[in-house]
Chain A
């Protein structure tokens, strides 16, 4: 097991180096000129040059890259010009916000999609199968920002059930001491019940938005995978041996159908983490996606590089976890590994 992990991590190193080089070059190839942007509306040419010098953008590309990698080796991702903060701190503060939202959204989505997919597969053509089809089609065809805005309109503006879409906490609560960065957990650790309620109620709408969007791939994949497993020979054997339908479905079929579902889950998770920028915008969520996009608009190099690098590392870790999970679910994979 350990050697497997070590081997996988060793494989990841070249791709991370590649990511560092490519993001560096790509950000430099962006059309904007950060010096002109940050020199302000009233800047003269000299002022722009002064700022360019201060930011180090007047140096040759190779030297800039060398400095960047040296800083990187010290764990310094540089500073953002738009927010004025060190990128590493910002990512550390914002990643939990995105992760908490994404995980909760995914949890809700899995809780609905898995049973829905399994039921649809065991009763193909029935009303539940049709429901599954309608729900997944609707979920995948509604753009996230649209779902988000509709939910805000209905539950906040019209009905007033949901709190104002103002980020992670009601403005009059102070954030709990940072332990995990997940407000739901931190408020519990701080034994602050009101803040916990506030954090939870702020989470419901954005998490539901994400869940609706990510429902489709998971439910469809569960259904397809279950269908193929249910028609395989070992299931027929199990049925012929007189095992109860629930044992057949849950113990034998479902476990074997899990592998592709886990793969889809990992894809959906990493996709959501990066792509929930729209949800973050709608709900004023201080997450990592909106951070990266704002930086991109201002051609603010450091946060973009930091974001891509963080994402790359997360992908590597996630893939590793998935590979290990494969082994847990299906011993054959472990042997081959």
Chain B
């Protein structure tokens, strides 16, 4: 073939190939699919579909929440701004149709018609196997179970095919709430056991790649780092059948593009956008933007109390008076947070957490306190933050640095890469840093147990130890378990007051979770895990 002929035939081919594509119509079936499909865009996606897996990330929790059922879940109540908010104190049955709590155990009767995605009925042996798995695999799931005093497989007893009993190790108010978090999800034990190996007796490798639950959705396709596709389980019996048939969850790393996708109407829901974007989107009214406070969460400035200068409470109080609180609220968060400072001086301490401190920016007081502590000329220190949340942390630290400079405190900013942050926190050597803590279980003593108790957990990042504090926290935990209301309230007030007087960490604000969605999307619910519950969402 001559070159010219070849070219001719190629262009002919190209023209031929182009013909059937010329009409750019999208078939009507596709348009229908769009109205029953929810397109979610977010920065990161799951790395594991099973929350029991090693190192499952937070997006993975969202998959688990929607694709697996638990014995019980929470009722909804009306939250700030009328948005449905999970009710900490009211439980509703999910896989269980009935729960009876006696003194030292809880008995659950399972729904007889509940089936796993492959059609096998959900029975008590699946429940036992799943709970055994949660307390045995180690790592995060086991840790979370232990927070509710659920630590041993012997605690889970099969009564009959459809009845299971959970025995309490000790009285703990958190045991029942801990059965409603994401971790104690019920897994298809026969299916997973079939795919388990000697090296991997709990079948973690299998459930990492596919969902083996009974939940309202199941994952049909997962391309790590790109997309997750979930289809509705039409045989779901643990609640009203969800309205959305299909969930397409795409990872879009660029925040600007996520906003563009929302504003053009191509994406239905997104979170993880800069605060400024949320504030602007709220302003222009084209989209629904929901902002709700993190339950039991606080962004704070922590100080290492084992080393000078922060071993001196006067210095810590001076720091608390030197924080540029309002500037942080305005310039960093664009108002999207609850202030945790500046309560009136005569306000009584509440039996609640989080609650604002009585500190507000007062440089004169700060100077006086520093002088009293013998640091009239200031000192040098380093403030560290986690680069993964640089969007908030970086401007925040710069504002703090500026403010402290007025007291003669020279602060160097130390940016810690996300991968390294936890290691640094664990070492407990950083003198000054900012961080967020938020507990799934919304109880003051839970927060204080992790953050202020002298057993020095990972979250007591300040290495703060005080026998008085420990007594108050333990007292409140015991009082809650036995139902001694008066003692509980006295102890909670006691530890809050002590934490504010000694200020090993300075509360700044309660962060908001922000979700932007199209106007035709309704049914958003706030959950303690702050991820989406697809089951309640409605489109159109």
The reply to whether chain A is a binding partner of chain B is: yes
**Chain A residues closer than 8 Å to B21, beta-carbon distance:** 193-194, 196-197
Between A and B, 17 residue pairs with Cβ closer than 8 Å are: A39-B139, A42-B458, A45-B458, A47-B140, A48-B426, A50-B138, A93-B223, A157-B260, A167-B227, A171-B227, A171-B248, A193-B20, A194-B27, A284-B253, A284-B254, A290-B225, A294-B225
B interface residues with partner A (beta carbon < 8 Å): 17, 20-21, 24, 26-27, 30, 33-34, 37, 39, 41, 46-48, 53-57, 138-140, 142-144, 208-209, 223-227, 248, 250-254, 256-257, 260-261, 263-264, 266-267, 417-420, 422-423, 426, 457-458
Alpha-carbon distance between A158 and B264 when the two chains are bound, in angstroms: 9
Known: A38-B55, A43-B143. 15 other contacts (CB 8 A): A33-B422, A36-B423, A40-B56, A40-B140, A44-B143, A51-B55, A80-B47, A83-B224, A156-B264, A165-B254, A166-B41, A171-B227, A284-B254, A290-B253, A294-B225
**Chain B residues closer than 8 Å to A44, beta-carbon distance:** 143, 457-458
- Which 10 residue pairs spanning A and B have beta carbons closest together? A38-B55, A32-B419, A83-B224, A193-B21, A40-B140, A299-B419, A33-B423, A36-B422, A286-B226, A164-B266
**Chain B residues closer than 8 Å to A164, beta-carbon distance:** 261, 264, 266-267
* Main secondary structure on B side of the interface with A: mixed
The answer to whether A215 has its CB under 8 Å from any CB of chain B is no
Least CB distance from B450 to A in Å reads: 8
The answer to whether A81 has its CB under 8 Å from any CB of chain B is yes
Least CB distance from B67 to A in Å reads: 15
From A195, which residue of chain B is reached at the shortest CB distance? B21
Whether A172 pairs with B458 at a CB distance below 8 angstroms is no
Alpha-carbon distance between A336 and B316 when the two chains are bound, in angstroms: 76
**Chain A residues closer than 8 Å to B47, beta-carbon distance:** 80-84
Whether B17 pairs with A188 at a CB distance below 8 angstroms is yes
The answer to whether A139 has its CB under 8 Å from any CB of chain B is no
Alpha-carbon distance between A32 and B457 when the two chains are bound, in angstroms: 21
**Chain B residues closer than 8 Å to A76, beta-carbon distance:** none
Alpha-carbon distance between A283 and B257 when the two chains are bound, in angstroms: 8
The answer to whether A212 has its CB under 8 Å from any CB of chain B is no
**Chain A residues closer than 8 Å to B24, beta-carbon distance:** 197
Report how many A-B pairs have Cβ atoms within 8 Å. Answer: 155
A interface residues with partner B (beta carbon < 8 Å): 30-34, 36-45, 47-48, 50-51, 54-55, 80-85, 90, 93, 149, 152-153, 156-157, 160, 164-167, 171-172, 188, 193-194, 196-197, 281-284, 286, 290-291, 294, 297-299
Cβ-neighbour of B139 out of A40, A81, A165 (below 8 A) = A40
From B419, which residue of chain A is reached at the shortest CB distance? A32
Least CB distance from A286 to B in Å reads: 4
Contacts A44-B457, A167-B250; is A32 near B423 (CB within 8 Å)? yes
From A168, which residue of chain B is reached at the shortest CB distance? B226
**Chain A residues closer than 8 Å to B250, beta-carbon distance:** 166-167, 171, 284
**Chain A residues closer than 8 Å to B264, beta-carbon distance:** 156-157, 160, 164
**Chain B residues closer than 8 Å to A294, beta-carbon distance:** 225
**Chain B residues closer than 8 Å to A90, beta-carbon distance:** 224
Whether A84 pairs with B53 at a CB distance below 8 angstroms is yes
**Chain B residues closer than 8 Å to A83, beta-carbon distance:** 47, 224-225
Alpha-carbon distance between A214 and B502 when the two chains are bound, in angstroms: 60
Whether A156 pairs with B426 at a CB distance below 8 angstroms is no
Alpha-carbon distance between A83 and B27 when the two chains are bound, in angstroms: 34
Alpha-carbon distance between A167 and B61 when the two chains are bound, in angstroms: 24
Alpha-carbon distance between A55 and B54 when the two chains are bound, in angstroms: 9
